[in-house]
Amino acid sequence: MVTSAATEEAPALVEMVQITKRFGGVLACDRVDFTIAVGEVHALLGENGAGKSTLVNVLSGVIVDHQGEVRRSGRRVTFAGPSDAQSAGIATIHQELDLVLDLSIAENMFLGREPRTRWGTIDLRAMRRAAAAQLARLGIDVDVDRLVRSLRVGERQLVEIARALLLEAQVLIMDEPTASLADTEVTRLFEVIAALRADGVGVLYISHRMDEIEAIADRATVLRNGAVAGSIVPDATNRDAVISLMVGSRKDALFGADERPVPERDPDAEPLLRLRNLTCRRRWSVPGRTDPDGIDLEVHGGEIVGLAGLMGAGRTELLETLFGASTGARITGTVELAGRPYRPRTPRHALRAGLAFVPEDRRGSGLVLEHSVSDNLVLAALHTVCRLGVVLGPAERATVGREMAAVGVKAASPRVAVGTLSGGNQQKVVVGRQLLTEPRLLMLDEPTRGVDIGAKVEIHRLLRQLAEQGMAILVASSELPELMGVCDRIVALRGGRVVRELGPQATADDILAASMGSLPDGNEPDEPVRQP
């Protein structure tokens, strides 16, 4: 159980009473009660569309036309906008960080409220001093004159927190704060949250990762269909019970697909993909990247192979290399696709050869957010809906309708901007677009990052269906339960090399030991080790 300054008798920093909000005929929040006590980390759980974003937008002053009351330290408050919420000590750390990359740390922390000298100029010395002091409070030792662009994602997030505390925030809303962080950065963030809790700051924590919720949250409120489904103590509650609260009667239907037989394969069958000593050499090194360095790997049709490994192991780089996205690199070794030589050159060449790739960053690399669902779905397969360079409306509508139904995209219309959809539906659009190219090999990098539990299981079910239809699938994921739940084999990478291959009965400890390049007894293998 986490240690908290919050108790049942502690005064509430925030009370939300009977919050109700409709969008047209949709009831987004239905008489929701929610509180955050002094020094409490209160998690908010629920599928996408459960009402989490609406409730947070009410608390942060984004939504002002709602029913019910918001109280701050026992006094009713009304917000005309986000600035009013900030003035009341409520700050939001968004999943998409709101920083100006080409300004310094200090400039970002004081943006729009820079201290002034007696002559009206910006007091740079005072700004730097105050920024450094606030960062030091969080245990961060960094030059405040550094450009934010030069920081890692985890460091940028800590700058966001420090900026919020400069506003004397007593309530921090953190939306999927670990979605893009390495394990060491997650540990550092949790240390900062613990320090904030000790100082009496209340944290509203939103995450789809149950292990995080269990580790740091004092309480969790579960929303379903806009209403409170229950309130729990996370580390004292069975996960199945939490999932039941989140998805209701759909739990058995959703998770029944996980109980599956291991596919039988002819041991003499040729693999769809065969790699022998695949190596990628760049003319210049790229910080943080680990390119393939002598990888041997086989993937058969009808099989899902997982890529495991710690940050920097080379999972993403392997997929990008196979997809022809390693610009300016020299690729050596043998790559065979369906028994024929294949040399990755460009993504267009890869698509024509029957490879498809779902990237890790769906918003930055996978979607054109301001364009419609329809435009995004057909983007990689325009030839199927065009004649003489002109898009045929009826063909496009029929194709888009079929694909939306096939991958389970939920949207008011195919014409709505894809950026307005939930994370899970955006991910389904990216997957659907790649499937329209009719690939033989589907590669996915972190396929369910930042999506709710319902969308996650739907994506896993889709992958199983595709494998049963004979498609070869290669999945890179940092989530061990995902690899264990959906993959037929798991290959562990370290330093751009395969260090171990594990079968479907592998445990989390097995995968972690392999990812660290060691066997359970602590010995390090010289050659890849295969486990049945």
Q: What is the pLDDT of residues 403-433, one digit of tens each?
A: 899 888 888 888 999 888 888 889 999 999 9
**Amino acid 440: pLDDT:** 95
Residue 263's pLDDT band (boundaries 50, 70, 90)? low
Secondary structure of 441-456 in HEC code, one letter for each residue: EEEEECCCCCCCHHHH
For 403, phi then psi, to 5°, come to -70, -40
CA distances from 364 to 105, 258, 367, 369, 423 (A): 23, 31, 7, 9, 13
- Residue 109 one-letter amino acid: M
Structure tokens at 433: 């677009």
CA distances from 159 to 88, 96, 99, 280 (A): 21, 13, 9, 35
- Has this prediction a pTM greater than 0.85? no
| Closest-CA residue to 431 (of 475, 480, 390) | 475
For residue 313, what is the DSSP state? S
Of 112 and 78, the one with more pLDDT:
78
Looking at residues 137-143, what average pLDDT do you find?
80
Q: How buried is residue 469: exposed, middle or buried, by Cβ count under 10 Å (0-12/13-18/19+)? A: exposed
The answer to whether residues 489 and 532 touch, using CB atoms and an 8 Å cutoff, is: no
User: Percent of the chain having pLDDT more than 70?
Assistant: 88
Residue 454's pLDDT band (boundaries 50, 70, 90)? confident
For residue 365, what is the DSSP state? I
**Amino acid 503: pLDDT:** 84
Looking at residues 318-334, what average pLDDT do you find?
88
Quote the crossing angle between the two packed helices 453-468 and 423-435, to the nearest 10°.
20
Q: Do domains 12-249 and 273-354+439-530 have the same CATH topology?
A: yes
Lowest mean pLDDT among 172-186, 323-337, 374-388, 494-508: 172-186
Structure tokens at 321: 């290399």
Domain boundaries, the chain: 12-249, 273-354+439-530
Secondary structure of 213-268 in HEC code, one letter for each residue: HHHHCCEEEEEECCEEEEEECHHHCCHHHHHHHHHHHHHHHHHHHHCCCCCCCCCC
- Dihedral (Cα; 316, 318, 321, 323), 10-degree rounding: -70
At the fourth CATH level, which superfamily is domain 273-354+439-530?
Answer: P-loop containing nucleotide triphosphate hydrolases (3.40.50.300)
Residue 261's pLDDT band (boundaries 50, 70, 90)? low
Res 531 pLDDT > 70 = no
Res 257 pLDDT > 50 = no
The answer to whether residues 272 and 338 touch, using CB atoms and an 8 Å cutoff, is: yes
HSE (CB half, 13 Å, CA atoms) of 398?
A: 8
The answer to whether residues 499 and 527 touch, using CB atoms and an 8 Å cutoff, is: no
**Amino acid 30: pLDDT:** 93
**Amino acid 254: pLDDT:** 46
Residue 523's pLDDT band (boundaries 50, 70, 90)? very low
CA distances from 246 to 61, 220, 250 (A): 26, 12, 9
Residue 464's pLDDT band (boundaries 50, 70, 90)? very high
Looking at residues 147-164, what average pLDDT do you find?
82
Q: Is 430 helix (H, G, I), strand (E, B) or coil?
A: helix
Mean pLDDT of the chain: 84
Looking at residues 155-183, what average pLDDT do you find?
81
**Amino acid 158: pLDDT:** 82
Give the Cα separation of 100 and 107 in Å (integer): 9
For residue 314, what is the DSSP state? S
**Amino acid 527: pLDDT:** 45
Res 524 pLDDT > 50 = no
Of 41 and 99, the one with more pLDDT:
41
First to last CA, the chain: 37
Res 99 pLDDT > 70 = yes
Give the Cα separation of 210 and 207 in Å (integer): 8
Secondary structure of 370-392 in HEC code, one letter for each residue: CCEHHHHHHHHHHHHCEECCEEC
At the fourth CATH level, which superfamily is domain 12-249?
Answer: P-loop containing nucleotide triphosphate hydrolases (3.40.50.300)
**Amino acid 246: pLDDT:** 79
Res 309 pLDDT > 70 = yes
| Pairing assessment for the beta strands 386-387 and 355-358 based on DSSP bridges | unpaired
Of 379 and 88, the one with more pLDDT:
88
Of 188 and 292, the one with more pLDDT:
292
| Closest-CA residue to 38 (of 68, 70, 12, 15) | 12
What is the distance of C-alpha 212 from the center of its chain?
13
| Closest-CA residue to 484 (of 313, 306, 300, 254) | 306
Res 1 pLDDT > 60 = no
Give the Cα separation of 373 and 368 in Å (integer): 9
**Amino acid 266: pLDDT:** 63
The answer to whether residues 489 and 504 touch, using CB atoms and an 8 Å cutoff, is: yes
DSSP string of 121-148?
SB-HHHHHHHHHHHHHHTT----TTSBG
Question: How long a stretch of residues is the chain?
Answer: 532
**Amino acid 310: pLDDT:** 76
Of 424 and 337, the one with more pLDDT:
337
Residue 258's pLDDT band (boundaries 50, 70, 90)? very low
The helix (H) or strand (E) run that includes residue 76 is: strand 75-77
Give the Cα separation of 378 and 394 in Å (integer): 13
The answer to whether residues 275 and 334 touch, using CB atoms and an 8 Å cutoff, is: yes
Res 351 pLDDT > 80 = yes
Residue 455's pLDDT band (boundaries 50, 70, 90)? confident
Give the Cα separation of 66 and 158 in Å (integer): 32
Tens-digit pLDDT profile for residues 33-79: 999 999 999 999 887 668 888 999 999 999 999 999 999 998 999 99
